Chain A
Amino acid sequence: MKNCFKEGAISPDFIATSIAHHQVKTQIGAHQIFLGQVRNDEIDGKQVTAIDYSANEELANKVFHEIRETTFEKFDLTCMHIYHSLGRVEKGEICLFVFVSSTRRKEVMQAIDYLVEEIKAKTPVFGKEVFEDETHVWKTNS
């Protein structure tokens, strides 16, 4: 089972390199990328400075695999990549990188929306929103 987790933030360099790796796949005509970024929400007057992610990694990687399989069945994609952060990710940094490619644009635009919604709903990832004073609250997806 592929490990979709990366320790810490997902760097812009990693994303750029992933894009560059697809330039040899010349049957691709369209890419779509979703980047989740840690937002400095204000909660009860305190600013979120980071999110500390944890996960049920074994189950999450199984769920990522199942979501990938279902997405490949539903859409005509050439390739698909999912990376999610574990551990502390500072505000403004990237915590989720989803990348799909196809011959045509409509497939990737529909696929990315489906994929991100599935990931948020079904993947057992948990996040502590950490404030500047290092206290925290637990984040839940709406």
Chain B
Amino acid sequence: MASGNRKVTVTYYGMLAEKLNINSEELELPSGEINLRKFFVNKHPELKSFTFSAAVDLEYIDTLTEQALPQKIDLMPPFAGG
């Protein structure tokens, strides 16, 4: 189990930020493996009906390993570029 600090900055983008009415927040993650969708839907039930992806320290990831000590998590709605 990771023994370090699991404090992260979470940034919400696009329609997620609009829905939650926040752009970012500081969170202390629990220990152990974390399914990011489950974790954030539990924290913000308003996100349940939204499709979103997560990036942890600039890598697209669905599940945070038990050992991970991330600095930042980005939660993003479906992309709309081009």
A residues with a Cβ closer than 8 A to B are: 36, 53-56, 58-60, 62, 84, 95-96, 116, 119-128, 138-141
Q: Is the beta-carbon distance between A122 and B79 smaller than 8 angstroms? A: yes
Residues of chain B within 8 A (CB-CB) of A126 are 13-15, 76-77, 79-80
Most buried by A among B74, B76, B79: B79
Q: Is the beta-carbon distance between B15 and A138 smaller than 8 angstroms? A: yes
The answer to whether the Cβ of B82 comes within 8 Å of any Cβ in the partner chain is yes
Q: Is the beta-carbon distance between A140 and B81 smaller than 8 angstroms? A: no
Inter-chain pairs besides A120-B82, A124-B79, A140-B77, 4 sampled, C-beta below 8 Å: A56-B76, A59-B74, A123-B79, A127-B81
The answer to whether the Cβ of B55 comes within 8 Å of any Cβ in the partner chain is yes
Q: Is the beta-carbon distance between A56 and B11 smaller than 8 angstroms? A: yes
Give 1 or 0 for each of B55-81: 1 = CB within 8 Å of chain A CB. 100100000000000000010111111
Q: Is the beta-carbon distance between A59 and B82 smaller than 8 angstroms? A: no
Given known A-B contacts A56-B13, A56-B74, A126-B13, A140 and B79 have beta carbons under 8 A apart: yes
Q: Is the beta-carbon distance between B13 and A141 smaller than 8 angstroms? A: no
Given known A-B contacts A56-B13, A56-B74, A125 and B58 have beta carbons under 8 A apart: no
Q: Is the beta-carbon distance between B58 and A124 smaller than 8 angstroms? A: no
| Residue of chain A at shortest CB distance from B81 | A125
Tell me, rounded to whole Å, the shortest Cβ–Cβ distance linking B76 to chain A.
5
Most buried by B among A54, A62, A138, A141: A138
Residues of chain B within 8 A (CB-CB) of A140 are 77-80
| Residue of chain A at shortest CB distance from B53 | A124
| Residue of chain B at shortest CB distance from A35 | B82
